[in-house]
Copies of this chain bind each other. A is one copy, B any other.
């Protein structure tokens, strides 16, 4: 009962690593069980198929971490501009689990799986909506406290921030460097002062 949960967690952790760096389709079940030092029997004892494993990986590994790094920092309610910049800056430059060459794990999966439209896709949408909502709340709070202009549209800002972040991840990927992040962050800082 206890050991089983451990190996299940090992599979999910290794699956996350491999899928983050290589993509969902490019990561085979053989790859995952080999990295986990396990066999097919173990894998299919714990998961019905690849898709259900990936869903568990999202809910148990990726989403809790994204909640921690993308959503919670926006509940600080200090200055919206600082909170938003801090979230972006941490994600792009300081986060120890993300690498420029591998992009954003959430963005990668959306890119790869969105057209297929399975159960994974709706999970990705839910996480995306949670992030959007956190930004919207952050901006609206700033408008109430007078730190942001009243005419600022929260949803527009949210989409603008999210888009910029995900696109910056692409630039980092094609350049295999965090240099684009720094350039992007300078401009987003100016933008945040203008709203």
Chain B residues within 8 Å of A112, by CB: 23, 111-112
Interface residues of A (CB under 8 A from B): 21-23, 25-26, 101-103, 107-108, 110-112, 114-115, 117, 121, 124-125, 128, 153, 155-157, 159-160, 162-168, 170-171, 173-176, 180, 183-184, 186-188, 190-191, 194
A-B contact pairs, 9 of them (CB 8 A): A103-B111, A107-B170, A110-B170, A121-B174, A128-B174, A155-B183, A163-B164, A163-B167, A191-B194
In Å, the complex CA distance between A160 and B194 comes to 15
User: In the complex, what's the smallest C-beta–C-beta distance from A21 to chain B, in angstroms?
Assistant: 6
Cβ of B111 and Cβ of A176 under 8 Å apart?
no
Cβ of A159 and Cβ of B153 under 8 Å apart?
no
In Å, the complex CA distance between A80 and B194 comes to 19
In Å, the complex CA distance between A117 and B98 comes to 18
Chain B residues within 8 Å of A157, by CB: 187
In Å, the complex CA distance between A23 and B115 comes to 9
Q: List the 5 shortest-distance A-B pairs measured between CB atoms, nearest first.
A: A163-B167, A166-B167, A167-B167, A156-B187, A160-B187
Pick from B22, B165, B180: contact of A115, CB below 8 A.
Answer: B22
